Every structure is written in C-alpha cells, then in structure tokens.
Amino acid sequence: MHRTENVIDIHGILDRGDIVSFFQPIVSVKKKSVIGFEALSRGLAEADAGMVSPQLLFESAEKKGLATSLDRLCRVKAFESFGGLKNDPDRYILTVNIDPSILDEGTVGSNHLRELSRSLGMQPGKVLIEIIESKVVNTEALKKFVALYHEYGFLIALDNIGSGLSNLDRISIIKPDILKIDKSLVRGAADQCHSSEIIKSLVALAHRIGSLVIAEGVETADEAVVALALGVDMLQGYYFAEPGPRMEPLMDGIDEKIEAVAANFKERTVKRINAKKLQYRSYNQIINTLISELSRIPEEEYDEALGALIRPHPELECAYILDEDGIQASDTIFSSASGGDSKGFFFQPGNRGTDQSSKDYYFLLAAGLPKYTTAPYISLASRNICITISVAFRDVNFRKRILCMDIIQENGITA
C-alpha cells in the first residue's frame, strides 16, 4: 500500500534510512535474456502507514531542501540491495536514477557515485546512470556530469525521451549510451502513426550516434512486438515483471515471456516480408505490362494508355512518364477518378511538361540505374505517404523514357 497524503516526515525517513529498493528487469529479446535491473526507490512511513511513492518522496524532499540527501540515500540503498540479490550481480547492469535538480547544486564533481561503487565493489561499466532529460535545467552541468562519469567508465541513459518536453539537441550533445523511450509513445505506437514515426526517428538518431534504445512502460506482448518492429533494442515494463525487492518473483516466468515475444516478432516479420514480396511481384507485373504497351505507342497516346492500365489497380496512386531530361512526357494519371483533385497549394499533380529532374529517382536513373525505388515520402501530387518505383525503358523511337509509379503506403510500422 502506498501512502498518498501530501505531508510525510521526510526528515524521519532520511534519519532512519527508511528507503526500500525495488527492481524491474530490462530485457533483450534479441539476446533472449535479462540484461539488467532498474532500481526504483520507495519510502517507508511510520506506524505501518504503508510505502511512500517516489513522486511524493522526492516532492517532499525538494520542498525541504533535502533532494540531494534523499537522492544519495536512494543510490546507497540501491547498490546495497542489488549486491544482496540472490543471484550473481556481475551478470547484470544496475540502473540507478539521479534527480536532475541536484545537477544545479554543485554536486557534479562530488564523486559520490564513484566512491559508492568503489566501496561496494561495483564495476562502473555495470552501472547505468539514468537522468530524466526533460527535468534538466542546466545543460552545461549535465554535459560536465556526463563527461566526468563517462571518463570514470559509467554508462549514461537519458530517460523519458519523447515525453513532450524533451530537448532533442541534448541527445546529440550528450551522446548517451542509452535512450529510454517514454511509455506514452510506446502505448500509442500500435495504432497512432505519429507515435510510431517518432519512435522510428528517435531510434534512427540514437543508432546514428552510437546509442541503444530501451522502450519503457511495456504492458502487453503486442506493445513489445511493435516496439521491436520499430527498431527498439531492449524492453522494460509490467508485461515482463512488476518492480519488486526480491529476485525470484522478478525472474519467475520471464524467460517464457521473452520467448513468446521473440516468436511473435519473428512470425510477424516473416509475414510482413512475404507480403512485401507478393506486393512487389505484383508491381513488377504491372510495370512490365505498362512498359510493353508504352514502348509500342507514340507519346501522344501515353495518357490514355496509362489510364487504361492502372485504373484496375487501386493500390497504385498514379503513374507518369519522364523524358531523358526529367521533363514529364505525360500528365500524372491517377488510378481513381478523384485522385487528381487539388489537396492545397503545395500539393498539385504534375502535368505534361513539368520539370521533375530534381527528384531522387531521376538522378539515380540518369546515372545509369535501370530501376529505383524510393523510401516512403509525402507526395507533392496527393499529400499521401507513398513510394515511387521508377523504371527506364525505350519508346517506339528508341528514346530513353522513365516510367514512374507512385504507390500509397500504409501508416505505421508496416509502411
């Protein structure tokens, strides 16, 4: 039971050392193992009044000017409790949280955490220091702290990334070892396009600077699989285990859950790949039919031929033809009657004579590639997310032409 009153005896808790460390596993599905534990602190109230939640605990300490003292006590208890777990602690990473507010109190060079790990025999390389990035006020103090503790050999994580208040510039400045994706994004990733796209972008940024990504707050098997599909490296949340003070309950059944997620992820990935293969096989058949027809007719018949050939395929958005200079040799022909409607000033389909020579697909085909498929992008013709498949061919007069076919992509992780 958690104590919920707004007033607690924070002085008494600190004097008695009444802090209990709970732990929650961090798992790697790729390695099929638990790779570490995050230490989460709870306060003990007097007279069997229950536990004090971390939020209330730290709010009370901050009001009394005791944030640094509480922060240090929590870390001491975390190290001591982790060493006492009935398992080999050298196998795992210990994640400890640091209250970002204390970075502004001249504590950056105190070396408290370094001395604590030394006194308890913990290797710095097995300690991950977790900082809620959005609560950091002093970026310079954060940079100094991270640089110092990286030099000592500790690992650094930025927590709650994507929570809405994150300063993304700090990610590149700090270059943490770990980014922890906020649970609000993880929860929405399965059915909200913006959440999945943000996670994919954060994963790409993290990997580019050499950081790994943990999705926190994973509560269901589906959330775990979706996070993996978006490129996340590790997972943490109630689905695998609720936080607790003892090793046995934390590890009970966790291997089976990891195996289940791995099998589900593999099954979905194989299905997605096979579906893509079937799609592209169908696209190639359509392309071959189009080129066979287009290579036998004069340019003035392109529009009619494109319309007749693509309208039976609603999965195709539109098609158009470029000449060897990247100028449209046909109008943009849509597969549906309403496809050519204007979607606003910035989104207008190109007509015969439109210069498309600055598009990626034209550059690559002009360089000699016979075929090119773009990454998903927002179409300036329709405002839809699409890919463009472009194929070079020769017209009836043996002039080089480029057939371009835009294909609408689904939102979300299967795009």
**Counting Cβ atoms within 10 Å, is residue 389 exposed (0-12), middle (13-18) or buried (19+)?**
buried
Nearest to 393 by CA among 296, 306, 304, 315: 296
Cross-strand pairs, 42: 20
Report how far apart, in Å, the C-alpha atoms of 129 and of each of 55, 246, 258 are: 19, 21, 25
Q: Which amino acid is at 233?
A: D
Q: How confident is the model at residue 410 (pLDDT cuts 50, 70, 90)?
A: low
353-375: average pLDDT: 87
- Determine the topology of domain 273-408 in CATH: Beta-Lactamase (3.30.450)
211 and 176 in contact (C-beta within 8 Å)?
Answer: yes
Q: How confident is the model at residue 216 (pLDDT cuts 50, 70, 90)?
A: very high
Q: How confident is the model at residue 48 (pLDDT cuts 50, 70, 90)?
A: low
Nearest to 38 by CA among 29, 27, 28: 27
Cross-strand pairs, 181: 161, 215
d(CA 284, CA 287): 5
Report how far apart, in Å, the C-alpha atoms of 378 and of each of 295, 331, 339, 346, 382 are: 30, 19, 15, 11, 8
Predicted local confidence at residue 86, as pLDDT: 60
317-345: average pLDDT: 83
- Which one has a higher pLDDT value, 3 or 353? 353
CA atoms within 13 A on the CB side of 395: 18
Residues in the chain: 415
Considering only 21-35, 128-142, 148-162, 284-298, which range has the smallest mean pLDDT? 128-142
Predicted local confidence at residue 346, as pLDDT: 77
pLDDT digits (tens, 9 = 90+) for 93-122: 999 998 777 776 556 667 788 888 888 888
Considering only 50-59, 65-74, 178-187, 400-409, which range has the smallest mean pLDDT? 50-59
DSSP, residue by residue, 144-168: HHHHHHHHHT-EEEEEEETSSS--T
Cross-strand pairs, 178: 157, 212
Q: How confident is the model at residue 180 (pLDDT cuts 50, 70, 90)?
A: very high
15-32: average pLDDT: 92
- Which one has a higher pLDDT value, 367 or 255? 255
**Per-residue pLDDT for 47 more than 60?**
no
**Per-residue pLDDT for 408 more than 90?**
no
Tokens of 409: 């992509």
Could you tell me which CATH number the domain at 2-241 has?
A: 3.20.20.450
Considering only 50-54, 201-205, 225-229, 233-237, which range has the smallest mean pLDDT? 50-54
- DSSP-based three-state secondary structure for 185: helix
**Per-residue pLDDT for 277 more than 80?**
yes
**Per-residue pLDDT for 415 more than 50?**
no
Predicted local confidence at residue 26, as pLDDT: 97
Q: How confident is the model at residue 1 (pLDDT cuts 50, 70, 90)?
A: very low
Going through 99-183 in order, the beta strands assigned E by DSSP cover 127-132, 155-161, 178-181
Nearest to 163 by CA among 204, 134, 199: 134
Report how far apart, in Å, the C-alpha atoms of 414 and of each of 45, 274, 316, 376 are: 49, 12, 17, 11
Considering only 22-31, 60-69, 148-157, 400-409, which range has the smallest mean pLDDT? 60-69
Going through 45-118 in order, the beta strands assigned E by DSSP cover 51-52, 93-98
Helix (H), strand (E) at residue 115: helix 112-119
Tokens of 8: 């607690």
Predicted local confidence at residue 348, as pLDDT: 85
Long-range contacts of 304-312 (CB under 8 A, 24+ apart): 306/330, 306/333, 307/333, 310/286, 310/335, 310/405, 311/335, 311/336
Going through 204-248 in order, the beta strands assigned E by DSSP cover 212-215, 234-236
Domain ranges of the chain: 2-241, 273-408
Q: Phi/psi at 63 (nearest 5 deg)? A: -60, -30
Nearest to 317 by CA among 402, 194, 404, 375: 404
Q: How confident is the model at residue 414 (pLDDT cuts 50, 70, 90)?
A: very low
Tokens of 218: 């994973």
